[in-house]
Structures are given as structure tokens and as C-alpha cells.
């Protein structure tokens, strides 16, 4: 009875981490990354192949394969990830300014590639934060 419970707990824990997932390895610090932010739930690091002058990846520490696998249960986590963006943008010097004067400057794109048709390559859900002066590399 106790063993069954322990097994169930173990299954729950291993479900959180995917052994073959490169982003899970980054979470466990088995793979290096250029870390920008970390808390108990979220990690932010630099994309190794930047498509823009600033290119960060915002990931949940728990393994969620795609945005398509998310539900209302993930609203707080997804909200926390999105709400980090303005602070990250200020720190990276890509925040929008000048909207009051009618000449906005700076800015960024927020992208979540999802599944094969969404051209997702790494199946651990992530938000791309890309910004900085144009031109950027041509997107796919």
C-alpha cells in the first residue's frame, strides 16, 4: 500500500521532467545556458541562435510539451511568464518608449511556436522574446 503510494509519487515527479528534453536539462543545469532570470517556476536564458539583437527564451521549469497542452490550470504560470516580459524588456533595453509623444521607439516580438505547423523545434513550451534595432534575421 505504502509502496504503491510511493510509486505514484515517483511517477508524478518524473512526469515533471523529460529525460531527453534539452530544456529540462537546462533546468537541471546539466546543460549550460546564459541565465537571465530564474525563480521556483520559471527560467529565462539567451537563445543560442539569436534571430534578433535581443533574443530570450522564457520557459516553465516543469515540462509542458507545447502551448497546446496548457489549460486554465496553467493560467497563473503562463500569466507570470507573460508578466515578466516588461521587466526583461527594460533590463535588455528593448522596452517601448515615447508613446505619449506620438513617436514610439524600441519594442519587441513575443512568439510561441506550437507544434509542427507552428514550427516548434524544442518540445518544452517556451516564449520567444525578440527585440532590438532592425534589421533582424528573416523569420521562417
- Please choose, from the candidates 60, 55, 54, the residue with its C-alpha nearest in 3D space to the C-alpha of residue 79: 60
Q: Counting contacts by CB under 5 A, is residue 23 touching Zn ion?
A: yes
* 113 touches ligand AMP by CB under 6 A: yes
For residues 47-75, one letter each, b for 16 or more C-beta atoms within 10 angstroms of the residue's C-beta and e for the rest, the string is beeeebebbbbbbbbbbbbbbeebeeebe
> Do the Cβ atoms of 54 and 131 come closer than 8 Å?
yes
Active-site entry in 55, 63, 124, 126: 126
Residue 126 catalytic?
yes
**By CB under 5 A, is residue 55 in contact with Zn ion?**
no
Identity of the residue, 99 or 140, whose beta carbon is nearer to ligand AMP in the bound complex: 140
Shortest separation between residue 23's beta carbon and ligand AMP, angstroms: 8
x/- site string to ligand AMP, residues 13 to 52, per CB under 6 A? ---------x--------x-x-------------xxx---
CB neighbours of residue 43 within 10 Å: 20
How far is Cα 79 from Cα 69, in angstroms, rounded to an integer? Answer: 15
C-alpha 37/C-alpha 86 separation (Å) is: 13
Min. distance of Cβ 50 from ligand AMP in angstroms? 8
Contacts of ligand AMP in 56-95 (CB under 6 A): 57
CA distance 118 to 105: 29
Q: Which residues bind ligand AMP (CB under 6 A)?
A: 22, 31, 33, 47-49, 57, 113, 119-122
Active-site residues: which are they?
A: 126
Amino acid at each position: 500500500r505504502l509502496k504503491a503510494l510511493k510509486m505514484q509519487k515517483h511517477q508524478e515527479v518524473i512526469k515533471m521532467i523529460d529525460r531527453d528534453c534539452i530544456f529540462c536539462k537546462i533546468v537541471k543545469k546539466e546543460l549550460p545556458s546564459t541565465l537571465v532570470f530564474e525563480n521556483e517556476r520559471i527560467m529565462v536564458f539567451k537563445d543560442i541562435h539569436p534571430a534578433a539583437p535581443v533574443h530570450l527564451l522564457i520557459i516553465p521549469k516543469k515540462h509542458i510539451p507545447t502551448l497546446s497542452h496548457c489549460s486554465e490550470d496553467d493560467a497563473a504560470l503562463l500569466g507570470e511568464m507573460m508578466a515578466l516580459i516588461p521587466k526583461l524588456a527594460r533590463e535588455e533595453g528593448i522596452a517601448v518608449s515615447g508613446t505619449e509623444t506620438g513617436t514610439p521607439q524600441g519594442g519587441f516580438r513575443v512568439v510561441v511556436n506550437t507544434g509542427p505547423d507552428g514550427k516548434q523545434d524544442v518540445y518544452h513550451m517556451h516564449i520567444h522574446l525578440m527585440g532590438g534595432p532592425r534589421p533582424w534575421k528573416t523569420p521562417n
